[in-house]
Amino acid sequence: MSDIDEATLDRLRQAALDAAAHAYAPYSKFYVGAALLFEDGAVVTGCNVENVSYGLTSCAERNALFRAISERGAGQKIRAIAVANRNGAASPPCGACRQVMSEFVTADAVVCFPGESGPETRPFREIFPWSFRFEPEDGRR
Ligand code: THU
């Protein structure tokens, strides 16, 4: 499916689980972590951060993404994303996070997440085939 070896994906899954230890989730008590593997081999992680004004909560995946762009710029694409939680539950990335991911992943990027019946590893294009796209008329981004 992807040319990333299973040991590398396992390390990424573990990095996501480690990141979930920092989750700030006093309201849902659902502790999520995400880890992104970039083309140069760098790994950037994030966790969910909730707020008492619930709608301001930010998912682990988007926090990892925004952290990565803030620290590294947007020059490198993401080859793999792992999501984990400390609740032993299924947690595929939410739709909002998939849309944000879509702008920064390689064509053959994979996503690892806990599914309903165990660990899943799926091509990103399979879990988010119709991303919203828009090219500004002046060609700038
Ligand atoms: N959450 C994530 O961090 N990632 C997802 O893909 C879905 C949900 C968080 C948001 C909130 O803090 C908690 O999980 C329960 O929804």
Q: Where are the domains of the chain?
A: 6-127
Q: Is the Cβ–Cβ distance between 49 and 58 less than 8 Å?
A: yes
What is residue 136's predicted lDDT score, i.e. its pLDDT?
Answer: 84
- Which residue type does 130 have? W
Check if 97 has its Cβ closer than 6 Å to any atom of ligand 1: yes
Classify residue 39 by burial, with Cβ atoms within 10 Å: 0-12, 13-18, 19+. exposed
CATH of 6-127, one of 1.20.1090.10, 3.20.20.140, 3.30.830.10, 3.40.140.10: 3.40.140.10
pLDDT in tens, 28-63: 999 999 999 999 999 999 999 999 999 999 999 999
* Ligand 1: residue whose CA is nearest its atom 1: 59
Which residues have a catalytic role annotated? Answer: 61
What is residue 6's predicted lDDT score, i.e. its pLDDT?
Answer: 97
What is residue 135's predicted lDDT score, i.e. its pLDDT?
Answer: 86
Q: What is the pTM of this model?
A: 0.96
Atom of ligand 1 nearest to the CA of 97: 6
Per-position pLDDT tens, the chain of length 141:
579 999 999 999 999 999 999 999 999 999 999 999 999 999 999 999 999 999 999 999 999 999 999 999 999 999 999 999 999 999 999 999 999 999 999 999 999 999 999 999 999 999 999 999 998 888 766
Rounded distance from Cα 76 to ligand 1 centre (Å): 25
Check if 101 has its Cβ closer than 6 Å to any atom of ligand 1: no
Check if 94 has its Cβ closer than 6 Å to any atom of ligand 1: yes
What is residue 141's predicted lDDT score, i.e. its pLDDT?
Answer: 66
What is residue 1's predicted lDDT score, i.e. its pLDDT?
Answer: 57
Q: Is the Cβ–Cβ distance between 23 and 75 less than 8 Å?
A: no
Question: Over the chain, what HEC string results?
Answer: CCCCCHHHHHHHHHHHHHHHHHCECCCCCCCEEEEEEECCCCEEEEECECCCCHHHCECHHHHHHHHHHHHHCCCCCEEEEEEEECCCCCCCCCHHHHHHHHCCEEEEEEEEEEECCEEEEEEHHHHCCCCCCCCCCCCCC
What is residue 138's predicted lDDT score, i.e. its pLDDT?
Answer: 84
Q: Is the Cβ–Cβ distance between 57 and 48 less than 8 Å?
A: yes
